[in-house]
Amino acid sequence: MHTLEGKLPDLIILEGEEPVDALLKWGKEAAKVHHPIVRENIYWELLDELCNQTESLSCKRDRAWEYLDFGIMTHMGNEFAIDFYNPHVEPISRRECHPLLIGEVVVDTCIKNAANDFCGYFVPPPNNCIRDITLHLASLLRITDEKRFDTKCSYKRLGLEMDAPGRELYKKAASEAMKRGMNMSPFARVDNGTI
């Protein structure tokens, strides 16, 4: 039984948005006012309800990708948010991202697919939309990765999302510690920010 005081925010799943990504975003927003929901039984129960008991939704994944807000694009006087869900935080999805060269810049197929989806909403699409958005996403993702250890959130530091299983957290933390030559206490907890 889960008891929460007050009203939880509405869970809104937009067209083209994966339900697990919307649920994680909702869970983070709800945790600002209520008890944390992500990584708790209620989160997994809600995900099960969304994916298996809701007829109008289909879930392609059961793990969320990292949500990144990469600015706004103005087209024909209207503003469009450039929201990017980073598949690199999930090992299975990461394997599906293959390197790709655009000009002299190395990007990957996942970034190009996200740009293709974004540009697909415009009729007619702006000139060079897919190329420009792909390069924009790649450059901002590179900057985000370079600044990961400047953030307070342990998950962002490790390049993971909050619904990552414990074994993945510890494996990634050990990898990052070894990469940086850090001596990590075997009793430190990754999931509560003591690293």
Number of H helices, E strands in the chain: 7, 4
Spatial separation of the C-alpha atoms in residues 2 and 173, rounded to whole Å: 31
Q: Are 89 and 160 in contact (CB under 8 A)?
A: yes
Give CB contacts under 8 A, 24+ apart, made by 144-153. Answer: 144/68, 152/193, 153/193
Q: Are 29 and 73 in contact (CB under 8 A)?
A: no
* pLDDT single digits (tens) 45-84: 888 888 887 778 888 888 888 888 888 888 888 888 898 8
- Work out the pLDDT band at 113, boundaries 50, 70, 90: very high
In a 10 Å sphere around its CB, with 0-12 CB exposed, 13-18 middle and 19+ buried, how is residue 111 labelled? buried
Q: Is the pLDDT of residue 188 over 50?
A: yes
Spatial separation of the C-alpha atoms in residues 139 and 162, rounded to whole Å: 24
Q: Is the pLDDT of residue 112 over 90?
A: yes
Helix, strand, coil content of the chain in percent (nearest 5): 45, 15, 45
Average pLDDT, the chain: 80
Specify the residue for token string 């996200």.
Answer: 114
- Work out the pLDDT band at 133, boundaries 50, 70, 90: very high
